[in-house]
Structure 1
Amino acid sequence: MARYEQKTKETDHGVVEFIEKVDSPKKRKDAYKLLEIFEETSGFEAKMWGPSIIGFGTYHYKYATGHEGDAPLVGFSPRKAKISLYFATGDTEREETLKRFGKYTSGKSCVYINKVDDIDVEVLKELINQSITFLRDLYPSN
């Protein structure tokens, strides 16, 4: 059986260089704002994960299936359509907190925003801290 190769890994690519390549000046400005909020709130230096995710901190996960890997505790990506925010999946507190977040849509593991002005930055900080606490409790060896 072939071993699963994790696609999104931490890289040594520069975060600022990545942000500078974002086409939209408004999205670039928001990316710098998010960079500051995530670094300040998480206490972790930003690192690139794969070609387009800016991650903060890291944890090692292992599923019952035996699949395991490393991932950032939290992160974001200024994509063309929307800005993706990455928080822990499975955290039941997240849905309650998102009710106070502002204008967003969400998928299984991502919360999507158009711009930082659409959200409550204090609630974003809560989401960052909740996600880090949730993952550290779930994977205590990190």
Structure 2
Amino acid sequence: MKKTEVGVDEFLAGVSPAKRQRDAATMVTLMHDITGHEPEMWGTIVGFGSCHYRYPTGTEGDVPIAAFSPRRQATTIYLLDTGAHADRLAKLGPHETGAGCLYIKDLEAIDADVLREIVTDDYRRVIDGDTGSATFTVTG
């Protein structure tokens, strides 16, 4: 995955519906507060910080440390492993999960403190190198 030249504000201005745009602004603030990194675009993903990953199989690449994408149907929050957050997810409110993804249709309907805990924990795991089978090296 590579960073793109599109500005975050420019990208977010084109997000629809309006609720998703509002949620995206909330996520930018939340992730900036947690990571201390300015948002950058990685295609249609808003990322904070960067790292290089490598699996024992040799698969490797670059990704943001914390990231989300305001998709039409839901805000997608990218996590290392949603299973690691099972207890918190039970308290979060309405959401769905997929492989490394947390889907939230309305940020106003969930517990913001629980979401902050989930994102903070995931960010710390990358920074601390507690990521399971992959090796992550922070690059920015």
Q: Tell me whether the two structures share a fold, i.e. TM-score over 0.5.
A: yes
TM-score (norm 1): 0.86
1:80 aligns with 2:82: no
Letter matched to residue 100 of structure 1:
K
Matched ranges for 1:1-142 at <5 A: 8-50=1-43, 52-89=44-81, 92-136=83-127, 137=129, 138=131, 139=135, 141-142=137-138
5+ residue gaps in structure 2?
none
Aligned-residue sequence identity (percent) comes to: 33
Given residue 90 of structure 2, which amino acid in structure 1 is its aligned partner? K
Report if the CA contact (8 A) 1:42-1:128 is conserved.
no
- Report 1 or 2 for greater relative contact order, CA contacts < 8 Å, sequence distance ≥ 6: 2
Give the residue type in structure 1 aligned to 2:51: Y
Equivalences, count: 133
Aligned in 2, Cα 1:25/1:140: closer, same or farther, shift over 3 Å?
closer
Structure 1 segments (4+ residues) deviating >4 Å: none
Which runs of 5 or more residues in structure 1 are unaligned?
Answer: 1-7
Q: SS of 1:124's equivalent?
A: helix
* Contact in 1 for aligned 2:48/2:64 (Cα 8 Å): yes
The TM-score with structure 2 as length reference comes to: 0.87
* Aligned-pair Cα RMSD in Å: 1.5
Aligned-partner residue type, residue 71 of structure 2: R
Match of 1:4 in 2: none
Distance of 1:60 and 1:141 partners within structure 2: 5
- 2:87 is paired with a residue whose SS is helix
